[in-house]
Each structure stands twice: as C-alpha cells, then as structure tokens.
Amino acid sequence: MRELARIFIAVGTQSVGGGTSTLFLLRRFLVERGAHLSEREFTEAWALCQLSPGIHLVALAGLLGQRVAGWRGVIVAVSGMMVPAAVITVAMTAAYGLIADQPLARAALQGMAPATGGMTLGLAIVLARDARRHGLRTVVDVSVVIVAFAVLLLTTVSSIAVIGAAALIGAVFLGRERPTTPEGAVG
C-alpha cells in the first residue's frame, strides 16, 4: 500500500502539464518498473477509462488502485495523484494572485489568453480526430462538431443539452467503430 501511495504521489507531483506526460509516468511506474500490471492490463484499463465522465486519468488511477489493492487502493491512488498536485496548483494560483494586478502580469495575461484559447482549440481538434469514424462517415461526425460549435457561439442553448442530444444521436446512429485510441486527448 505504501508503494502504491509513493507511485501515485510521484505521478501527481512529477508530471507537468497533465495528459500524456501523466499517462507516460503511470505506465512507467506500474508496468515497466513495478511490474504491478501487464502492458495489456494497462491498455485495457485506459480504453475503459476513456468511457468515463470527467478526468479520465482519475478513472485510471481508481481502476489501477482497485486492481492492486481493492477499495483502499482506489482511495490511496486517487488521493495520492490528486491531493499533492492540487496543493501545488493552489500554491501557484495564490502566488499569481499576489501579482495579478501588476501591469506586467496584466500584459502577460494578454498573451496567455490567446495561448490557452489556442491550446483548447488544438485539444478539441485532437478529440474530434480521435472520436471520428473513417470514410464517408467522417462527414457525419464532423457535422456534429460543427453544429455543436455553431450552437454555442450563435445561440443561448445549454451546452449540457448539446452534449445530451449528441450522445442520444450517437447511441442510435454513430456506433459501429470503437471511439477510443490508445492515448487520445487525455486529461
């Protein structure tokens, strides 16, 4: 149990930027170094976690923690990965808050806003690329993306309604191919 805690605290505090770097560290500690799981078990768990709501890496931590040490493993893995990282995030936010009103910080924010906007855009395109089907079906899938884009920009319809409607349409019309890839737009 202690080793499990050590592994997930290390993953939470050593992977900067989330996404693939967190996934890479998890694989390294649990599959390559610790041999707690086989490569196949890890890949299967990740494929399942991409079906979960919210942060997929939390689902992965929970699933892997459960495999290694049951429900106590879930708590240790999720809190080990999330709590120290959250403390670091709060410390960084508090530190930025001290200088947020300074002219230099405001100038930096004018560059960070389009940078974060562009990163969001880039991740969205990766998400669409990984979720879309192939051949002519791509046209249908891209249409869903464009409609959701237009609805949010041009109307006041709730985003939740958009996701719910797309999920229903998906369940009826968009099956047939697996929607996930080994790494995808992780988070």
Partner 1 sequence: MDPLTLFAVLLKDSALALGGLGSLPLLRQDLVATGFATDSQLVQALAIGRLSTGPNGLWIVSLGYQMAGLLGAAMALIASSIPPLVILPATAVARRWLLSVPFAGLVRGAALATAGLLCATGFSLIVPAGDVPSWWQVVIGIAAAVFTYQGRLHPAVVVIGGALLGLLLAR
**Residue 100, both tokens:** 């947020």
Decide if residue 68 touches partner 1 (CB under 8 A).
no
Q: How far is the CB of 32 from partner 1 (least distance, A)?
A: 20
Decide if residue 28 touches partner 1 (CB under 8 A).
no
Q: Which is nearer to partner 1, 54 or 135 (CB)?
A: 54
CB 59 within 8 A of CB 186: no
Best CA proximity match to 21, nearest among 87, 85, 93, 92: 85
Q: How far is the CB of 153 from partner 1 (least distance, A)?
A: 5
Burial (0-12, 13-18, 19+ Cβ within 10 Å), 85? buried
Q: Which of residues 74-133 bind partner 1 (CB under 8 A)?
A: 74, 78, 81-86, 88-90, 92-94, 96-97, 100, 104, 106-128, 130-133
Please tell me the distance from the alpha carbon of residue 144 to that of residue 150, in angstroms, as a whole number.
10
The residue whose two tokens read 């099956």 is 175
Q: Which is nearer to partner 1, 19 or 34 (CB)?
A: 19
